[in-house]
Structure 1
Amino acid sequence: MEPALQIGAEEIKTSDEYLEVSVETPVISGMNNTAAQLKINEHFKQVVQEQREELLTMAVENKRSAEEMDYPFHQYQLYARTGPYFENGKILSFYVDYYNYSGGAHGMTDRRTYNYDVVSGQALSLKDVFISGYDYKSRIDTAISGEISQNPDDFFAGEFGFKGIDLDHKYYLQNDALVLCFNQYEIAPYAAGIQEFRIPLQDFSKGLNPDLKLIN
């Protein structure tokens, strides 16, 4: 029996006068393509390492300036958590929330989505979910605009409002839905948080890539 594909986590926790780190780095196991699996897992380690180094450099400089200018320094923070994942033998889909605090009134959360062909290990963009030539953008734009219109006061308007998705907009999959994500400040105020729009896969039934077997 082939091993079941799943996502675990490697926990990293450190804290010093400059930076607190509390991350759960995704660890994928069970892929037949072990080379691709290793490459993907190394990518997640690298993302955390790069963010950690960047924040630490900023924190050291900020603390030095705070001491020279006699203002309080607040420890920087880096957190990461992995959301639930979808896997059907063809595609693996999930997101990771990266939160960092680097001074100021509040930190920021960056939701990054990841979608992989479980056979090749290749990343799958939004267009890969659909057959060639299918106008998925118009359907998604209409669905999102309709949902925003139900609660317009919760979103930015005019030049800062929703104008349509990018062709490679970030997404992840649930059992029966395509979920489009917008980070803080993209289309709504910070207090509104990360915005997600869940569209039933059945709405795209004629345009879905049959190789991914997303609906029966």
Structure 2
Amino acid sequence: MNPRKSLLSSLLTSILILGAISNPALAAANAPALSAPAASGSQQGASIVFTPKSTNFTTKEYEARITIPLISGLADKTYQAQLNAELEKHAAESLKTVQQQSKRDAELAKKEGWEMRPHVLDISYEVYTTGNLLSFGVTTYTYTGGAHGMAVVQYFNVPNLEKTHNLQLSELFQPGYDYKNVLNNLITQQIKTEERKTGNKLPYWFEGISNHQGFSFKNGTLFIHFGQYEIAPYAAGMPAFTIPRHQFMNLLKPGIRDLLQ
């Protein structure tokens, strides 16, 4: 068979299987390299239901372990369909990338006579809050044969309203408040507090949150998330800073505040 046709056939089969197979396992949204435990069972809160869809692939060139959520129960059915399609597309494109890259590396390893380490793709998710404000994260971990893999988390914070979308951090706060300065100071204080506890200056290079900063809500508490290498070395993992309710609730827009009650 023509190698290009074979590759396209493999990709099509993988995508079809991804959409068809379901597994009653809810994976945690941290990659194996971060040593996070996986949760099990479907998760439901209020009228929102997460149904995990899982599939695994193992070849000589790569391993893929994929679990994405199928979300139902949102009031905005149009956005619900868009969100589910976005998650499916991300999984399919990530799988396609690891298939193509592992194939190229396998061919190069054979040509140059070195041993190839199988590539790894691991997609999982964690639900933080379900209810009036849905909050969850999807982690994509990839390993391509280097010293270590890399994990990236995409955070979703969706009000369960008739018309909704994935909120940005800036949309939470009332106009006129310098929310960045408030959060930057709180995060800086937490870093300094940890330095005093350990007696060492931590290897952070935090300069401030971005316009598209990752965040989540857990039990009404705000968490500000950073990726690997974003503000600290790889060994620091993916730092997250806890912002208690009393430090931000008065800054929120009334509508957002109501969602967190």
Length-normalised TM-score, structure 1: 0.90
Q: Equivalent residue for 1:133? A: 176
Q: Select the residue among 139, 149, 152 that pairs with 1:110.
A: 152
Residues 47 and 131, structure 2, Cα contact 8 Å, conserved in 1: no
Residues 159 and 259, structure 2, Cα contact 8 Å, conserved in 1: no
SS state at 2:177 partner: coil
Listed one character per residue, the Cα deviations across residues 141-184 of structure 1 (whole Å, up to 9, x for unaligned) are 01111111133457435xxx100001321111111211111111
> What letter is aligned with 2:51?
G
> What letter is aligned with 2:142?
N
Residues 154 and 188, structure 1, Cα contact 8 Å, conserved in 2: no
Q: Equivalent residue for 1:204? A: 248
Length-normalised TM-score, structure 2: 0.76
> What letter is aligned with 2:145?
G
**Taking structure 1 as reference, are residues 88 and 130 closer, same or farther at Cα in structure 2, changes over 3 Å only?**
farther
Q: Equivalent residue for 1:156? A: 203
**What RMSD, in angstroms, separates the aligned Cα atoms of the two structures?**
1.7
Residues 21 and 78, structure 1, Cα contact 8 Å, conserved in 2: yes
**Taking structure 1 as reference, are residues 40 and 187 closer, same or farther at Cα in structure 2, changes over 3 Å only?**
same
SS state at 1:148 partner: helix
Q: State the alpha-carbon separation in 1 of the partners of residues 77 and 201 from structure 2.
A: 45
Residues 134 and 157, structure 2, Cα contact 8 Å, conserved in 1: yes
Q: State the alpha-carbon separation in 1 of the partners of residues 130 and 182 from structure 2.
A: 24
**Taking structure 1 as reference, are residues 141 and 122 closer, same or farther at Cα in structure 2, changes over 3 Å only?**
same
SS state at 2:122 partner: strand
- 1:1-216 residue pairs with structure 2 within 5 A? 4-89=47-132, 91-119=133-161, 120-152=163-195, 153=200, 155-157=202-204, 161-212=205-256, 213-216=258-261
Residues 68 and 125, structure 2, Cα contact 8 Å, conserved in 1: yes
Structure 1: any 5+ residue segments left out of the alignment? none
Structure 2: any 5+ residue segments left out of the alignment? 1-45
Q: How many aligned residue pairs are there?
A: 210
Residues 48 and 131, structure 2, Cα contact 8 Å, conserved in 1: no
